[in-house]
């Protein structure tokens, strides 16, 4: 299944699940569900209380009380419903993606083998019958039935249904490429796969559970904020309870006015309690996980997403993350007495059958820079010398010439065997190239050295700008590489990273992470090999590549389905966006309570203490209208903020102090001003509709 088709399924499923969210919000009215959210549970109880008062008013034929109680009751229930809907809407997005993923989880026929040989007989079984340890044959056109590892063969595999990446990838029995995922399709050749999971335990099953929210747990910050909201709710509950006693005492001592009603008191409590952020808190967390899935990153827990927002150190591998990973020829350096054209011609001849990225780049460089067209290999009547790990040279025997290219010391041995001498100037040039973080290849023709091919590990485009943004955010970047310190320093300077670790071994990575954590830093890193597993397990945010080993994926707390090491930067941004969204909406929720004080408190005590009228700065129509306006605004602001909770606050690459100042200004000031406007507008509408005089 192609990714565009998968996106179409997600869109269609999103519309369907959004409609289901309207219905699911009613199912969440169960007290067993409501009790999980203390803030909304108190609103739930108040709604029941006002419903009872309303029914009693009907039985007693109290017409004036019936009208007021009816409207308060309706909007309290709407407050609970909107809170339920916010959570259901967030969950519906995950369900849409889960439905799309289920399209990839097919119960297909698999070719089960008795031994790891393509020639052995196989038995056709369904994927649900396979168990960990079974061997299956996957040939061109076959779908890999269950997660596993390649034990034999090499093939091109289409993983677009899982990763969204349209280009096929190579899978073979090497540490970096042996992992395969159920639901992907073999495009060419064949593989023998050893199954590593039992039914219901595959990566796809786990991913579906995560996006549906079945395994989502509250993060530490979310739990802490929930405790704070519960404490605030308890405080407001105690305050409102004492107002009844205060009201009774005031009436008895003054001898005028009326005792504050339970309906008014409930409305006051609901408006003062942090219902806005209490309603949206769960939706914000679910949406954060959902944004990770949209980036094709599966977070094992919400804690990992949240921790990404607090990360202040990023550890990145050089190869494939900072650099393209394939060295490219960038220049030809001839020795004295050798023309540039002669060196380029010899280098191209020696690389005609070299299918490595380095070899192909040499042919292209000679063609583009010096106009040397590629030769007809069959027409040359030449013999080619392939590269081997033992000789470390490759080349061509052509027209009584022995043209070779290879490592400095390997060519030196070859030259001496042929009776030639190594020029002194060559050593100086090779040392200079190495100090610049580049790789020299020496070219010879017989016993004569022609010059050097300069190979460079190309820095990825835009990576320097990305590191600059991270620096603005207060995040330090550290490059880890197996290169020598000279090469590492040169690449680090060009890429713009803050620090580097050269000659790095697995234990060095682990030691570096532990040291940084002891200094109080939160560390993120990426990895794909078994040797990365210890460091991934230690890191606060550990992103394993989907193409990596099983050990790496089990050690990490996130899996990047696209296996793009630079995705770590986006992951940090999503984590910060989650924290910013939660902080912004919390600020807005607390700030908008101020307007409700000025609306409800004067209305509640106006008959007992007329001097409270001075607090009615909005000049609301009647006390009853003031209370209703505040309750209505309190309900509808939840539904208006749902899109922001799901989409998240716009992320900006700014220092944390600047972000805090901007968000406090926007959402603090907005939370202060918007309720005054909203409550006043609602009050005017109630007056126009004739609902203002309800008591």
Q: State whether the Cα torsion 329-330-336-342 is positive or negative.
A: positive
- What confidence score (pLDDT) does residue 412 get? 85
Report which secondary-structure segment, H or E, holds 156: strand 148-158
**Residues in CB range of 96: below 8 A, 6 or more apart:** 10, 11, 13, 14, 16, 17
| Least confident piece of the model among 34-38, 463-467, 631-635 | 463-467
Q: How many CB atoms lie within 10 A of CB 613?
A: 12
Mean pLDDT along residues 467-478: 84
User: How far apart (Å, rounded) are the C-alpha atoms in residues 345 and 251?
Assistant: 105
User: How far apart (Å, rounded) are the C-alpha atoms in residues 428 and 658?
Assistant: 50
Q: 42 in helix, strand or coil?
A: helix
Is the pLDDT at 429 greater than 50? The verdict is yes
State the chain's mean pLDDT as an integer. 79
First to last CA, the chain: 63
Q: 421 in helix, strand or coil?
A: coil
Strands 148-158 and 169-172: antiparallel
Report residue 3's pLDDT band, with 50, 70 and 90 as the boundaries.
very low
Six-digit token string for 74? 């309706």
Nearest partner of 35 among 71, 80, 70, 78, judged by Cα: 80
Strand ranges inside 240-377, DSSP E: 297-299, 313-317, 323-334
Q: Which residues are annotated as a binding site for ATP?
A: 354, 358, 387-394, 405
- What confidence score (pLDDT) does residue 2 get? 43
- The distance from CA 88 to its chain's CA centroid, rounded to whole angstroms, is 21
Alpha helices in 496-566 (DSSP H): 506-518, 533-538, 550-555
Report yes or no: 396 and 403 within 8 Å, Cβ to Cβ. yes
Strand ranges inside 296-431, DSSP E: 297-299, 313-317, 323-334, 383-385, 393-398, 401-406
Six-digit token string for 398? 């052509």
CA distances from 45 to 29, 32, 325, 488 (A): 11, 13, 61, 64
| Least confident piece of the model among 133-147, 170-184, 414-428 | 170-184
User: How far apart (Å, rounded) are the C-alpha atoms in residues 346 and 394?
Assistant: 12
- What confidence score (pLDDT) does residue 69 get? 82
Strands 499-501 and 313-317: unpaired
Residue 156: beta bridge partners? 170, 188
| Least confident piece of the model among 82-86, 198-202, 533-537 | 198-202
- What confidence score (pLDDT) does residue 1 get? 41
Task: Go through the chain and tell me how many residues it has.
Answer: 695
pLDDT digits (tens, 9 = 90+) for 174-192: 766 777 877 788 887 888 8
- What confidence score (pLDDT) does residue 206 get? 60
- What confidence score (pLDDT) does residue 361 get? 85
Strongest mean pLDDT among 140-144, 314-318, 448-452, 604-608 = 448-452
- What confidence score (pLDDT) does residue 93 get? 63
- What confidence score (pLDDT) does residue 356 get? 73
Higher pLDDT, 590 or 217: 590
For the chain, the domains span: 6-97+212-292+574-689, 130-198, 312-322+460-561, 326-458
The answer to whether residue 508 is catalytic is no
Instruction: Output b/e per residue, 46-66; b: 16+ Cβ within 10 A.
Output: bbebbbebbeebeeeeeeebb
User: How far apart (Å, rounded) are the C-alpha atoms in residues 349 and 358?
Assistant: 14
Mean pLDDT along residues 570-578: 85
pLDDT digits (tens, 9 = 90+) for 274-303: 888 888 888 887 777 778 877 778 777 667
Is the pLDDT at 11 greater than 60? The verdict is no
Report yes or no: 208 and 260 within 8 Å, Cβ to Cβ. no
Angle (CA) 483-485-490 rounded to 5° is 90
User: How far apart (Å, rounded) are the C-alpha atoms in residues 68 and 687?
Assistant: 14
Six-digit token string for 262? 């339970």
DSSP-assigned letters across all residues of 73-130: HHHHHHHHHHHHHHHHHHHHHHHHHHHHHHHH----EEEEESSS-TTS-EEEEEGGG-
pLDDT digits (tens, 9 = 90+) for 153-172: 888 888 765 554 545 777 88
Reported as half-sphere exposure (CB side, CA atoms, 13 A), residue 323 has a value of 24
Phi, psi (deg, nearest 5) at residue 113? -100, 155
pLDDT digits (tens, 9 = 90+) for 353-396: 777 778 888 888 888 887 776 566 666 678 888 877 667 788 88
Please identify which of the residues 317, 345, 445, 483 carries the catalytic annotation: 317
- What confidence score (pLDDT) does residue 129 get? 79
**Residues in CB range of 496: below 8 A, 6 or more apart:** 463, 464, 467, 468
Is the pLDDT at 512 greater than 80? The verdict is yes
CA distances from 255 to 225, 250, 312, 607, 611 (A): 44, 8, 64, 11, 16
Report yes or no: 487 and 437 within 8 Å, Cβ to Cβ. yes
Report residue 7's pLDDT band, with 50, 70 and 90 as the boundaries.
very low
- What confidence score (pLDDT) does residue 81 get? 92
User: How far apart (Å, rounded) are the C-alpha atoms in residues 586 and 606?
Assistant: 31
Domain 312-322+460-561 matching CATH 3.40.50.20: the answer reads no
Nearest partner of 615 among 628, 625, 626, 624, judged by Cα: 626
Q: 595 in helix, strand or coil?
A: helix
User: How far apart (Å, rounded) are the C-alpha atoms in residues 543 and 200?
Assistant: 23
Sort 678 into a burial class: Cβ within 10 Å, 0-12 / 13-18 / 19+.
Answer: buried
Is the pLDDT at 467 greater than 70? The verdict is yes
Output 290-293 pairs: Cβ under 8 A, ≥24 positions apart.
Answer: 290/90, 290/93, 290/94, 290/97, 290/211, 290/646, 291/574, 291/577, 291/578, 291/648, 292/558, 292/571, 292/574, 293/94, 293/97, 293/207, 293/210, 293/211
| Least confident piece of the model among 61-75, 79-93, 95-109, 640-654 | 95-109
Strand ranges inside 469-508, DSSP E: 476-480, 499-501
Is the pLDDT at 95 greater than 70? The verdict is no
- What confidence score (pLDDT) does residue 147 get? 81
- What confidence score (pLDDT) does residue 120 get? 80
Q: Which CATH architecture group holds 326-458?
A: 3-Layer(aba) Sandwich (3.40)
Residue range 130-198, CATH number: 2.70.150.10
Instruction: Output b/e per residue, 289-313; b: 16+ Cβ within 10 A.
Output: bbbbbebbbbbbbbbbbbbbbbbbb
- What confidence score (pLDDT) does residue 325 get? 63
- What confidence score (pLDDT) does residue 169 get? 75
Helices (H) and strands (E) in the chain, counts: 24, 20
| Least confident piece of the model among 61-65, 331-335, 404-408, 473-477 | 61-65
User: How far apart (Å, rounded) are the C-alpha atoms in residues 475 and 559?
Assistant: 22
Q: Which residues are annotated as a binding site?
A: 354, 358, 387-394, 405, 528, 532
pLDDT digits (tens, 9 = 90+) for 636-654: 999 899 888 888 888 777 7
- What confidence score (pLDDT) does residue 162 get? 58
Report yes or no: 562 and 456 within 8 Å, Cβ to Cβ. no
pLDDT digits (tens, 9 = 90+) for 207-237: 556 555 544 556 667 778 888 888 888 888 8
* pLDDT more than 70, % of the chain: 82
Mean pLDDT along residues 104-113: 71
Report residue 591's pLDDT band, with 50, 70 and 90 as the boundaries.
confident
* pLDDT more than 90, % of the chain: 4
Strongest mean pLDDT among 272-281, 381-390, 423-432, 552-561 = 272-281
């Amino acid at each position: 299944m192609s990714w565009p088709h998968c996106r179409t399924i997600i869109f269609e499923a999103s519309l369907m699940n959004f409609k289901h969210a309207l219905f699911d919000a009613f199912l969440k009215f169960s007290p067993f569900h409501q009790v999980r959210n203390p803030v909304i549970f108190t609103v739930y109880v108040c709604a029941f209380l006002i419903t009872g008062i309303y029914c009693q008013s009907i039985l007693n034929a109290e017409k004036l009380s019936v009208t007021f109680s009816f409207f308060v009751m309706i909007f309290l229930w709407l407050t609970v419903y909107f809170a339920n809907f916010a959570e259901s809407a967030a969950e519906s997005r995950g369900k849409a993606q889960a439905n799309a993923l289920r399209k990839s989880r097919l119960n297909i026929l698999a070719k089960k083998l008795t031994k790891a040989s393509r020639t052995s007989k196989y038995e056709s079984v369904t994927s649900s019958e396979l168990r960990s340890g079974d061997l299956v044959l996957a040939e061109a056109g076959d779908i890999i039935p269950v997660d596993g590892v390649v034990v034999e063969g090499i093939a091109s595999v289409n993983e677009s249904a899982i990763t969204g990446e349209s280009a096929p990838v190579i899978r073979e029995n090497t540490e970096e490429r042996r992992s395969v995922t159920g639901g992907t399709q073999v495009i060419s050749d064949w593989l023998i796969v050893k199954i590593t999971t039992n039914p219901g335990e595959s990566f796809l099953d786990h991913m579906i559970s995560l996006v549906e929210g079945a395994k989502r747990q509250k993060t530490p910050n979310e739990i802490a904020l929930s405790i704070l909201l519960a404490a605030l709710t308890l405080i407001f509950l105690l305050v409102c309870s004492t107002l009844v006693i205060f009201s009774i005492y005031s009436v008895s001592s003054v001898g005028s006015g009326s005792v504050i009603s339970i309906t008014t008191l409930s409305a006051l409590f609901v408006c003062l309690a942090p219902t806005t952020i209490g309603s949206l808190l769960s939706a914000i967390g679910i949406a954060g996980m959902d944004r990770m899935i949209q980036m094709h990153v599966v977070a094992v827990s919400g804690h990992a997403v949240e921790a990404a927002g607090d990360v202040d150190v990023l550890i990145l591998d050089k190869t494939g993350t900072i650099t393209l990973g394939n060295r490219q020829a960038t220049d030809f350096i001839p020795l004295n007495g050798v023309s540039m054209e002669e060196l380029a011609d010899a280098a191209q001849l020696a690389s005609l059958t070299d299918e490595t990225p380095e070899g192909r780049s040499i042919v292209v460089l000679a063609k583009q820079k010096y106009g040397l067209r590629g030769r007809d290999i069959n027409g040359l009547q030449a013999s080619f010398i392939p590269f081997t790990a033992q000789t470390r040279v490759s080349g061509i025997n052509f027209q009584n010439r022995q043209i070779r290219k290879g490592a400095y010391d390997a060519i030196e041995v070859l030259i001496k065997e042929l009776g030639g001498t190594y020029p002194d100037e060559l050593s100086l040039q090779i040392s200079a190239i190495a100090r610049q973080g580049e790789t020299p290849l020496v070219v010879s023709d017989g016993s004569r050295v022609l010059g050097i091919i300069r190979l460079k590990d190309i820095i990825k485009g835009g990576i320097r700008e990305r590191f600059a943004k991270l620096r603005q955010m207060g995040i330090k970047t550290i490059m880890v590489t197996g290169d020598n310190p000279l090469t590492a320093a040169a690449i680090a300077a060009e890429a713009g990273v803050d620090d580097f670790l050269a000659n790095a071994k697995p234990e060095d990575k682990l030691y570096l992470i532990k040291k940084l954590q002891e200094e109080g830093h939160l560390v993120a890193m990426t990895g794909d090999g078994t040797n990365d597993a210890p460091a991934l397990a230690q890191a606060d945010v550990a992103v394993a590549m989907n193409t990596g080993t099983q050990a790496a994926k089990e050690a990490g707390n996130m899996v990047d389905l696209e296996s793009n090491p630079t995705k770590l930067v986006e992951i940090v941004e999503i984590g910060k966006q989650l924290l910013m969204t939660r902080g912004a909406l919390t600020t807005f929720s607390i700030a908008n309570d101020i307007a409700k004080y000025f609306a409800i408190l004067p209305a509640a005590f106006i008959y007992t203490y007329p001097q409270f009228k001075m607090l009615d700065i909005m000049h609301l129509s009647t006390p009853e209208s003031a209370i209703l306006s505040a309750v209505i605004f309190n309900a509808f602001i939840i539904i208006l903020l749902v899109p922001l909770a799901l989409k998240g606050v716009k992320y900006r690459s700014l220092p944390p102090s600047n972000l805090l100042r901007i968000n406090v200004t926007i959402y603090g000031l907005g939370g202060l001003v918007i309720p005054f406007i909203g409550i006043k507008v609602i009050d005017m509408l109630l007056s126009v509709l004739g609902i203002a005089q309800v008591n």
